[in-house]
Amino acid sequence: MFERFSNSLTTSPTLQQIARTFRRTGWISFWVQLVLAVISSVILLFAGVLAPRTGTTGPNPATGIGVGVTVLGIVVLLYNMYLAVFRYVPIGRKLEGNPNNRPKKSETIQVIRMGLFASSIGILLSLLGAQATVGLLAAKAFSQGVGGFVNTDPSKFIQPLDILVVQASVNVILAQFVAIVASLWLLNRMSR
């Protein structure tokens, strides 16, 4: 269909649609990811600040692992937001501009592949963080005994902050999923 998306001096309607799709998808993806990243970050900060004040014997190492891996997922999410705004949107602008400055289709596909790869790594990290936290919650639930009254050590009880950490991980997973959907959508639009 196109080596440099189009060799003609005018912008075809299909190329205009692809350019518009890149810009819109980049911005929508960015804003959804930003909102979810901010919510997850606030939850993790909230859990980190309040954890020492819950009266338990200190932060649980398993929660720390879950939080740490989820934070790495947020770092990957920041990279995905960078791709959405500083790669996808400019590609859309270049596609409508001077035909000599249009990116090659292969270069554009490579940018989308980088986004898919980063999102896959981000989902993996976030899933590992969620699994570590859920494993901790399961261990706490099993150690509470029947009715939760057998064990009197407060660190063995499931704390609301533990649930917040799971929520943060799930939000990051959702944000990474949005990035994958955006990349696949762009890939699909280019293949038409």
Tell me, what's the pLDDT at 177?
A: 96
- Dist CA 172 CA 76 (whole Å): 10
Output 5 or 31, whichever has higher pLDDT.
31
Q: Where are the alpha helices (DSSP H) in the chain?
A: 13-50, 61-83, 89-96, 105-143, 160-191
pTM of the model: 0.83
Which stretches does DSSP call E strand in the chain? none
Q: Where are the alpha helices (DSSP H) in 84-157?
A: 89-96, 105-143
Output 163 or 49, whichever has higher pLDDT.
163
Closest CA to 48 of 29, 80, 71: 71
